[in-house]
Amino acid sequence: MTFSTVITCILFLCTTGWAQYVLEDDYTSDGNFFDQFSFFNAADPTHGFVDYVDKDTAQQSGFIKTQGNQYHMGVGNATTANGMPSVRITSNKSYNSGLVILDLEHMPANACGTWPAFWMVGPDWPSNGEIGKSQNIGSTARRLTSADIIEGVNDQITNAMTLHTGPDCSITNTADMLGSVKGTNCDVKASPDNAGCQITTINQQTYGPGFNDNKGGVYATQWTSSSIQIFFFPRGSIPSDITDGSPNPSSWGKPLANFQGGCDISKSFQDLQIVFDITFCGDWAGGSAWSQSSCATHGTCQTYVQTNAANFDDVFWTVNSLKVYQSNGASESSSSVSAYSATSAYSVSSVVSTGPPYSANASKTIPTYPTEGPTTASAVPVPVYSAPSSAETSTSSKQSHWHHHWTKTAHAMPRAAEPTVGAIRDADGTLFDLEASEHERLHAAHETQSLDPEAATQHKAESERGARKSAQRMARHLRQHKRHGSGRL
């Protein structure tokens, strides 16, 4: 494959092996966000000190409103006999799989007494799963089968993500995520307090003041038959494929949470609906979490909310967009090269790195985030490609590995101060020549494997010299096009 062929393929969005998701529902496209949800106005199943109101009351009281392309959900400033006026909305539509992408600019502040959540819940909990909130079924407090995507209480400063199910569902503590497992048994009856299987993070941009001070970010939940993965991207580090409406999770790096292992996801999670809510106190925020937080110095949770009802102005959701995608049946590869477009006769726009949203040592330190844009200064921007991790690229056949990925073998070349045109960069900074054909790559791989160490070293050195010459030829070719003002590459 020549360099020009590679450019042509990328420009016309060749999709062989790419993750394929198609938009199913865009809740924010037509300005009718709230029409696609039902308003819950019964007693809070989690025993919260809250007065959930219907849609008309919420609109008249200003608890919900549309501001431009944003959708606001907040609370009152004085309590009623039942508690703090608030909203809890549930999507009219349910799902059995998908990629749920929520762009939030603001989430409810981490104030004492608060318990906000963005979650998904099944109709027959715990049989049909939850990515979400504690419920009361019969005489015991427990959760509908659900999944908490965003959840926290009181003065919490980082996100907690949890699954709550029926029996025979557990997760594996794997290194294939950025968060930390706090519980592996998802069964609501496995512990007295319905802890579920929870994954936490130390990234303070995922929740509360750290999230809001950065103008929020994107939570993307990929729900398949084998796992439920939750990704988080802070504002300024949102992948371009998300903003372009063509999400490709295989290029996002490790998820914040990865729920998989001893659980039949398809059986445990069925007909889930999307939920936003803000409750106060209740079984968790007003229970053990209250006594274990700094909020306990204020007396009881209910007393605090009653006497400080006018101080919850920062307790609200601001939604920029909510979209649900479904797989179109195409298989996802473990890596992909982001598409880019020609911006002139002789230049190619650089693409944002598709590496992890924050550092791999997130379990030890507060993660750091890359900036968007080119990572190197060059007269001609170079598209950056983040190679897959060792776990992603492990296959039973080295030939298959070489066939499916751009890898550093005979055509690898040392990192240069000024990258040449037609090169892609591995995660460790190594540059690769795109002109070498796939056939040459496979041939070089097999030859290198069969040579003794000394011969392999010599073979590699010769190949690197050939790669440099090839890249130089491409650079000259591009400069000639620039001089002559050619309208094509």
400 and 283, same domain (yes or no): no
222 and 88, same domain (yes or no): yes
204 and 294, same domain (yes or no): yes
**Is the confidence at residue 176, as pLDDT, over 50?**
yes
Length in residues, the chain = 489
Residue 399 lies in a domain: yes
Taking the C-alpha atoms of residue 130 and residue 33, their distance in angstroms, rounded to an integer, is 23
Residue 384 lies in a domain: no
**Is the confidence at residue 8, as pLDDT, over 60?**
no
**Is the confidence at residue 436, as pLDDT, over 90?**
no
Per-residue pLDDT at 57: 98
DSSP 309: G
pLDDT band for 417, please (50, 70, 90 cuts).
very low
Residue 379 lies in a domain: no
Q: Total domain count for the chain?
A: 2
pLDDT digits (tens, 9 = 90+) for 313-353: 999 999 999 999 999 865 443 333 332 222 222 222 222 33
Residue 342 lies in a domain: no
Taking the C-alpha atoms of residue 242 and residue 249, their distance in angstroms, rounded to an integer, is 9
Residue 442 lies in a domain: yes
Per-residue pLDDT at 393: 36
The domain boundary, picked from 304, 327, 350, lies at: 327
Least confident of 166-175, 177-186, 333-342: 333-342
Taking the C-alpha atoms of residue 450 and residue 373, their distance in angstroms, rounded to an integer, is 41
Counts for the chain of helices (H) and strands (E), in that order = 12, 24
193 and 62, same domain (yes or no): yes
224 and 301, same domain (yes or no): yes
Mean predicted lDDT score pLDDT of the chain = 73
Residue 332 lies in a domain: no
61 and 175, same domain (yes or no): yes
Smallest Cα–Cα separation from 27: which of 110, 115, 112, 92? 92
List the CATH number of the domain containing 171. Answer: 2.60.120.200
Q: Are strands 197-200 and 88-95 parallel, antiparallel or unpaired?
A: unpaired
Smallest Cα–Cα separation from 403: which of 439, 452, 358? 439
Residue 464 lies in domain: 390-484
Smallest Cα–Cα separation from 323: which of 67, 69, 98? 98
Residue 136 lies in a domain: yes
The domain boundary, picked from 277, 304, 327, lies at: 327
301 and 397, same domain (yes or no): no
Per-residue pLDDT at 458: 58
Predicted TM-score (pTM) of the model is 0.65
pLDDT band for 453, please (50, 70, 90 cuts).
low
321 and 397, same domain (yes or no): no
**Is the confidence at residue 61, as pLDDT, over 70?**
yes
Per-residue pLDDT at 20: 84
Taking the C-alpha atoms of residue 409 and residue 438, their distance in angstroms, rounded to an integer, is 12
- Based on the residue annotation, tell me whether 435 is a catalytic residue of this protein: no
Taking the C-alpha atoms of residue 347 and residue 358, their distance in angstroms, rounded to an integer, is 29
pLDDT band for 137, please (50, 70, 90 cuts).
very low
246 and 160, same domain (yes or no): yes
430 and 317, same domain (yes or no): no
Residue 343 lies in a domain: no
401 and 316, same domain (yes or no): no
Q: At what angle do helices 438-450 and 453-484 cross, to 10 degrees?
A: 160
- Based on the residue annotation, tell me whether 151 is a catalytic residue of this protein: yes
Choosing from 151, 418, 440, 462, the catalytic residue is 151
Choosing from 24, 105, 130, 372, the catalytic residue is 130
297 and 396, same domain (yes or no): no
The domain boundary, picked from 305, 327, 349, lies at: 327
Q: Tell me if 112 sits within 8 A of 125, measured CB to CB.
A: no
DSSP H helical ranges for 344-437: 390-393, 398-404
How are the residues of the chain apportioned to helix, strand and coil, as percentages rounded to the nearest 5? 25, 25, 50
